[in-house]
Structure 1
Amino acid sequence: MSKLISELLIEDMTPAERERAERVESILPVLAERAVKTDKEGRFDPDNVRLLGEAGLLGLMVPTQYGGLGGGLRDWAAACFAIGSVCPSTGLAYFFHNTSASRGTLALAALEEGLFSEEEAPAVRAFAEKVLYTMGRDRKWLANYASESVKSEHSAITITTEAHKVDGGWELNGVKSFGCATGIADQYLVTAGLKGMTDASALCTFFVDRDAPGTRGRIEWDAMGMRGTATEGLVLEKVFVPDDSALAIPGAFAKSCQMSRSSFVGNQVAASVIYLGAAVSVYQTAIKMLKEKTFVDTGKPLGSGPFQSQFVGDMYADLQTALLWARRQVHIESCDPPIVSKDEVVTFWRTCKGQIAEYSFNVGVTALKAAGTSGTMFSTPYSRALRDLAMGLVQAFPAERGRLEAAKLIIEGREQNSFGKG
C-alpha cells in the first residue's frame, strides 16, 4: 500500500481515516495543476469548490447522519495538510469552510450537556442541523465570519457587528475583516452581537445568503501570498436575515464554545498544518533538485557540496521540528479520553501555532537559498512557497504574541478572553 502524503502528519490512521484521506489524495493532481494560475491571478477558483463537492469533502467534518463523512480533527488536519502541499490557498479556504461545522456540532454537544433550557432546545437543534445538512447532505460551501479589525486589550476577537430585531427576522450591520471565499461560498455564517447587550452573551450566529442585498466584500484581496482565497472580508449594511436562519438566543454562541477541546471553537491546528504541507512540498522539490543536478567537474550531486549539505541539514531539522509540534497538538486535542486538561491544550496551542509557522517558513527560506536566482521567478515553487509561508507568520496571531500568552497562562493561570462584544 503506497503511503499518502497526509500520513507524514497522521502516522497511525485508522482504516476509516485512510479512506477519507484517499478522497483528498484523489483530487490533489487537479488542485496542483490549477495552483500556479490561482496564485498568479490571485483568484479563488470556483472549480475547486465543485471538485471538493464531487469528492464529498464539503461534508468532511459533518456527522454521517447529516450526510457527511463523519471526520474528526485528525481527518481535518490530514486534509488541510495534504491540500496545502499542492495549493495552500485552497487549503486555507477549505479550512474556514470546515470551521462552519463547529457551529452545528458544538451546539449539539452543548444541548447534550444540558446547557440550554427546554424552551431554547428546539431552536438550537434546528439551527445546528441546518448548518450540518447544508454542508453534508446539500454539499454547500459555507464561509465563516467572526474576525473584525477592531482590537481590544482584553479579548482576542472583538465583535462590533450588530443584529437588531425587525419584523420576521433580524437586520445585520457591521464589517468583517477576515474570512475566505467572499463572493464564492453559497452562504455565509456571520457572528454578530444582539443590539443593546454589551457582554459576550450577546454573540449569536446568522445565515446570510451570498447574494443578499446589503452584502459586499470589504477589500480587494491582493496579498503577497495565499492569493487564491478571496479573503475580502464582508460588509453588511441593513442585511435581512429571517428568523429561521438565526440562532439569536443570548449566550448560545458562548455556551457552544464551551464544548471545544481548545480555545475559540478549537481545531485551529488544522489551519497551521496547511503551511506545514507547503513546507513539505518545497522541501521535497529542493531535495529532488539537489539530487538530480550535478557539478560539471565531478558529476557529484549538487546537494553533496559543503554549503548545500548545510542547507539540506537545516531544512530537514526545521521540517521535523514543525512536524513534531503539529503531531503533538493534534494528539492532545483529539485523543479520547483526554490526556491533558483543556488549559494545557490551549497553552500548548498558543506556542504551537508560532512554532509551526516559523519553522515552516525557515524551510522555505533555505529552499530558496538552495535554488538560487532561478528560484526567484514569481511562479516557481520556491517563490510561491516563500510567499505563502510568510502569511503563516501573521495569521491569527504572530508567534511572539502566542509565546507571551502562553507565559501568562503558565504564570497567572488564565487566558485572554476569546471573544468580546464591542
Structure 2
Amino acid sequence: MGKMISELLVEDMTAEERERAERVESILPTLRERATATDKQGEFNPDNVKLLADAGLLGLVVPKEYGGLGGGLRDWAAACFAIGTVCPSTGLAYFFHNTSASRGTLALSALKEGLFNDEEAPQVQAFAEKVLYTMGRDAKWLANYASESVKSEHSAITITTQAEKVDGGWILNGEKSFGCATGVADQYLVTAALKGINDASALSTFIVDRDAKGTRGRIEWDAMGMRGTATEGLVLEDVFVSDENALGIPGAFARSCQMSRSSFVGNQVAASVIYMGGAVAAYQSAVKLMKDKKFVDTGKPVGTGPYQQQIIGEMYANLQTALLWARRQIQIESSEPPMVSKDEVVKFWRTCKGQIAEHSFQVAIAALKCAGTSGTMFSTPYSRALRDLAMGLVQAFPAEKGRLDTASLVIEGEEQNAFGKG
C-alpha cells in the first residue's frame, strides 16, 4: 500500500483516517490540473465544489449521523495539507467551509454539558443540526464569515455587524472583511452581534442564502497569492434572516466556544498546514530540478554543487521545522484524553502559527533561488509558491503578534479573551 502525501503530516493514520485521506488523494490530480488557471485568472473554480462534493468531502468533519464522514482535526489537517500541495487556494477555501461545522458540533457539545437551559435547548439543537445536515447529508458548501476589519486592543475578533430582531426573524447589517467563496458557496454562515447588547454575549450565528437580497462582495479579490479563493468578504444591507436560520440566543456563541480545545473555535492549524503543503510542493519541484539539471562540463546534477546543496539543506531544515510544529499542535489539540491543558494548547498555537508560516515561506524563497530567473515567470510553481506562501505571513495574526501573545501568556498566566473584555 503506497504512502499518501498526507501521511507526511499525519504519520500514524488509523484505518478510517486512511480511507478518508484516500478520498482526498483521489481528487488531487484534477485539482493540480486546474491550479495554474485558477491562479492566473484569480477566480475560485466552482467545478472544485462539485469535485469535493462528489468525493463526499464537504462533510469531512461532520458526524456520521448527519451524513458526514465523521472525521476530526487529524483528518481535516491532513486533507488541507494534501490539497495545499496542489492548489493552496482551494485548500484555504475548503478550510473555511469546514470551520462551519464547529458551529454545529460545539453547540451540541455545549448542550451535552448543560450550558443551555430547557427553554434554549430546542433552538440550539435545531440550529446545530441544520448546519451539520447542510454540510453532510445535503453536501452544500458553507462560507464562514466572522472576521471584520475593525479590531480592538483586547480582542482577536471584534464584531460590528449587527442583528436586529423583527417579526419572524432578524435584519442584518454590517461588513465582513474576510471569508472565502463569496458568490460561490451555497450559503453563508455569518457571525453578528445582537443589537442592544454590548458584551461577548451579543455574538450570534445566522445562515444567509448566497443570493439573499442585500448581500454583495466587499472587494474584488486580486491579491498576489491565494488568488483563487473568492476572498471578497461580505456586505450585508438590511438582509432578512428567518428565525429558523438564526441562533439569536444571547451568549450562545460564547458558551459553545467554551467547548473548543483551543482558542476561539480551535482547529486553526488546519489552515496553516495548507501553506506548508505549498512548501512541500516547492521543495519537491526544486529537488527534482536540482537532480535533473546537469552541469555542462561534468554532467553531474546541478544539485551536487556546494551553493545548491546549501540551499537544499536550508529548505530541508525549514520544512522539517514547520512539520514538527504542525504535528505537535495537531497532537495536543486532538489527543484523547487531552495531554495538556487548554491554556497550554492556546499558548503553543500563538507561536506555532507564525513558525509554520515563516519556515514555509523560507522554503519558497530557497526554491526560487534553485529555479533561477526562469522560475520567476508568473505561472511557474516557484513563483506561485512564493506568492501563496507570503499570504500565510499575514493571515489572522502575524508571527510577531503570536510570539508577543505567547510571552504574555507565559508571564501573566492567563488566556487572552478572544471576545474582548466586557
**Given the two structures, how large is their TM-score scaled by the length of structure 1?**
0.99
| Structure 2 counterpart SS, 1:171 | strand
2:389 — aligned with what? Answer: 389
1:421, distance to aligned residue in structure 2 (A): 9.1
User: Structure 2: how far apart are the matches of 1:250 and 1:172?
Assistant: 16
2:154 — aligned with what? Answer: 154
Letter in 2 for 1:74: R
| Structure 1 counterpart SS, 2:418 | strand
2:64 — aligned with what? Answer: 64
2:50 — aligned with what? Answer: 50
1:201 — aligned with what? Answer: 201
Q: How does 1:159-178 map to 2 (within 5 A)?
A: 159-178=159-178
Deviations 1:362-420 (A, max 9, x none): 00000000110000000000000000000000000100000000000000012332124
8 Å contact from structure 2 (residues 93, 229) kept in 1: yes
User: Structure 2: how far apart are the matches of 1:365 and 1:323?
Assistant: 17
1:377 — aligned with what? Answer: 377
User: Structure 2: how far apart are the matches of 1:91 and 1:8?
Assistant: 17
Long gaps (5+) in structure 1: none
1:167, distance to aligned residue in structure 2 (A): 1.1
8 Å contact from structure 1 (residues 405, 415) kept in 2: no
- Farther off after superposition, 409-418 or 258-267: 409-418
| Structure 2 counterpart SS, 1:157 | coil
1:133 — aligned with what? Answer: 133
Q: Any runs of at least 4 consecutive aligned residues in structure 1 with deviations exceeding 3 A, and if so which?
A: none
User: Structure 1: how far apart are the matches of 2:157 and 2:303?
Assistant: 46
| Structure 1 counterpart SS, 2:178 | coil
User: Structure 1: how far apart are the matches of 2:416 and 2:15?
Assistant: 39
The answer to whether the aligner puts 1:342 opposite 2:355 as a matched pair is no
Q: How does 1:2-41 map to 2 (within 5 A)?
A: 2-41=2-41
Q: CA RMSD in A?
A: 0.8
Q: How does 1:284-323 map to 2 (within 5 A)?
A: 284-323=284-323
8 Å contact from structure 2 (residues 179, 231) kept in 1: yes
8 Å contact from structure 2 (residues 164, 172) kept in 1: yes
**Given the two structures, how large is their TM-score scaled by the length of structure 2?**
0.99
Deviations 1:206-257 (A, max 9, x none): 0000000000000000000000000000000000000000000000000000
1:151, distance to aligned residue in structure 2 (A): 1.2
Letter in 1 for 2:273: V
Q: How does 1:64-103 map to 2 (within 5 A)?
A: 64-103=64-103
User: Structure 1: how far apart are the matches of 2:285 and 2:278?
Assistant: 11
1:221 — aligned with what? Answer: 221
Q: How does 1:261-272 map to 2 (within 5 A)?
A: 261-272=261-272
| Structure 2 counterpart SS, 1:106 | helix
| Structure 2 counterpart SS, 1:147 | coil
8 Å contact from structure 1 (residues 203, 421) kept in 2: no
User: Structure 1: how far apart are the matches of 2:279 and 2:312?
Assistant: 13
Letter in 2 for 1:80: C
User: Structure 2: how far apart are the matches of 1:265 and 1:7?
Assistant: 25
Letter in 1 for 2:228: G
User: Structure 1: how far apart are the matches of 2:15 and 2:386?
Assistant: 35
Letter in 2 for 1:182: T
User: Structure 1: how far apart are the matches of 2:258 and 2:85?
Assistant: 32
1:2, distance to aligned residue in structure 2 (A): 0.5
2:184 — aligned with what? Answer: 184
8 Å contact from structure 1 (residues 159, 420) kept in 2: no
Letter in 2 for 1:92: L
8 Å contact from structure 2 (residues 157, 418) kept in 1: yes
Deviations 1:245-297 (A, max 9, x none): 00000000000000000001000000000000000001000000000111010
User: Structure 1: how far apart are the matches of 2:420 and 2:321?
Assistant: 34
User: Structure 2: how far apart are the matches of 1:188 and 1:206?
Assistant: 8
Letter in 1 for 2:128: A
User: Structure 2: how far apart are the matches of 1:419 and 1:207?
Assistant: 21
8 Å contact from structure 2 (residues 154, 421) kept in 1: no
| Structure 2 counterpart SS, 1:417 | coil
Residue identity over aligned pairs, in percent, reads 81
